[in-house]
Structure 1
């Protein structure tokens, strides 16, 4: 299976972004996703500059994919999206149906991101016919559901035309809202957020009154409080036909986690506990994979 680095969900200073992707040049990642998927006000890196960052990654042998916003809220957002579709020159990940429509109109192949609601093989077929060459399974689906979908895709005869990518490590992207929770946390209006997300390189952790990890707030995005980790399911995912495992970037040790997945890929035996010690996480939230509540650790 291939390994991918997902788009950076959080708002990092430009230098931090550049340093991260410079380090990624020598990483075992086969695929690297670039671009802003959460908030158009995050302009430390402009859309055209993402394309400049793509060049050395492509030269290093990585497949570069440019990701789009998951929530289009204005005509300006739509205009930026149109420009990206016209000028990107690389494969794009559509995280909104507007991007799917624009890319399909231009007869361009695309990746359907995890915020596109694909819950069955019929939806996969429709999008594949529109130009989709890879889908990232919605994070709330289970192994059992995925296996059923992939079996039907095989029966319908288009399995070779569509790759399957699984969100395998990181805080799960759960929901998007027109309201900015980071600005709200500081009693600021969304239109005058003062780019508060820059102060939270891994989002804002939210706990219950019993001090149990609940969510991570990241601007308009809500993520899981705990980390989702499918390292132990590597061989199971390979057996059912998964093509790509996605590792979602954080501000501390993403590339080390990527190395751990690569060691499993090369045949070594590792445990979830090893990554837990690296990440400082006591538990993981893997419940969705098993068809259970997402907060469960199984």
Structure 2
């Protein structure tokens, strides 16, 4: 198995982002994903900055992949994706079908990101014909669905693409055209003041009873718990998963990567240090957290 560092979900200051990736390039990772996937208003780094950073980090020998927005709402945002597609060197993680179409028109291979709606082998087969090289299933897609899709692809005599699964991080649960952070802070979306930069791991949301519930991250809602799928290593491998994705967090990321690298070399599954992923097992999420 390989390890990848998924795209940064949160909004951090420019210098912090650059310092993070310049440190990350020394970690035992195989793949680095770069780019803004959540909100186009987050412009501490613009498209040209991400491309320059990609060029810099590529010297390490790691695979660099550019990640597109998950929700494209304006012509300017589509133009940014087009610049990513036309970079001439790096693979694109397409998180919206418009990015898939741009790659298809140019005959370019791409990674199918977790926000593409792929729920059966026919959809996957169609995207493979369009150039899909690697698939990152959505966080709600569990073991049984993967097994069903693999069986369908085999019956259709179509090879499975490379499979990558989120193995560490909070689960992105929903995206909206509205900004949850702006709403929570009672400011208009167009006058948000980039307030999410004040919450480097998202804004925690509690129930009326004061119980931790979810995390608000701009237009994205995440689960509260950090999911750890290291103990499912052998199950993931049996389902054809070849890459484990680790989602960046504000602190302790080097230790997370080191633990997963050691886990891959361990003869037996390691103890869980985060939450169980209920989706993987087809179980209710809150029940799985207490298991």
Cα contact 1:2–1:244 (8 A) shared by 2: yes
Note the alpha carbon deviations across 1:201-223, whole angstroms, 9 max, x for none.
00011122333322110000111
The residue number in structure 1 matching 2:233 is 234
Q: CA deviation at 1:264?
A: 1.1
Q: Helix, strand or coil: the match of 2:71? A: coil
1:1-298 superposed matches below 5 A = 1-87=1-87, 89-159=89-159, 162-267=161-266, 269=268, 271-273=270-272, 275-276=273-274, 284-295=275-286, 296-297=288-289, 298=291
Greater shift after overlay, 216-225 or 206-215?
206-215
Q: CA deviation at 1:246?
A: 0.5
Note the alpha carbon deviations across 1:242-283, whole angstroms, 9 max, x for none.
11110000101122111111101112556444x34xxxxxxx
2: CA distance, partners of 1:286 / 1:46: 33
Unpaired segments ≥5 residues, structure 1: 277-283
Note the alpha carbon deviations across 1:64-114, whole angstroms, 9 max, x for none.
000000001111111222222223521000000111111111111000100
Greater shift after overlay, 23-32 or 84-93?
84-93
Note the alpha carbon deviations across 1:116-139, whole angstroms, 9 max, x for none.
011111111000000110110111
Task: Provide the alpha-carbon RMSD of the alignment.
Answer: 1.5
2: CA distance, partners of 1:42 / 1:143: 34
1: CA distance, partners of 2:253 / 2:269: 17
Q: CA deviation at 1:182?
A: 0.9
Note the alpha carbon deviations across 1:25-78, whole angstroms, 9 max, x for none.
111110100000011111111111111111232221210000000001111111
Cα contact 2:47–2:83 (8 A) shared by 1: no
Instruction: Report the TM-score when normalising by structure 1.
Output: 0.93
Q: CA deviation at 1:24?
A: 1.0
Instruction: Report the TM-score when normalising by structure 2.
Output: 0.95
Q: What count of residue pairs does the alignment treat as equivalent?
A: 289
Q: Helix, strand or coil: the match of 1:194? A: coil
Alpha-carbon distance change, 213 to 285 in structure 1, aligned in 2, over 3 angstroms:
farther
Q: Helix, strand or coil: the match of 1:73? A: coil
2: CA distance, partners of 1:13 / 1:88: 28
2: CA distance, partners of 1:220 / 1:88: 30
Cα contact 1:10–1:202 (8 A) shared by 2: yes
Cα contact 2:278–2:284 (8 A) shared by 1: yes
Alpha-carbon distance change, 90 to 80 in structure 1, aligned in 2, over 3 angstroms:
same
Q: CA deviation at 1:5?
A: 0.3
1: CA distance, partners of 2:54 / 2:38: 19
2: CA distance, partners of 1:137 / 1:80: 24
Cα contact 1:51–1:88 (8 A) shared by 2: no
Note the alpha carbon deviations across 1:163-214, whole angstroms, 9 max, x for none.
0111111011111101111111221100000010110000011122333322
Alpha-carbon distance change, 189 to 88 in structure 1, aligned in 2, over 3 angstroms:
farther
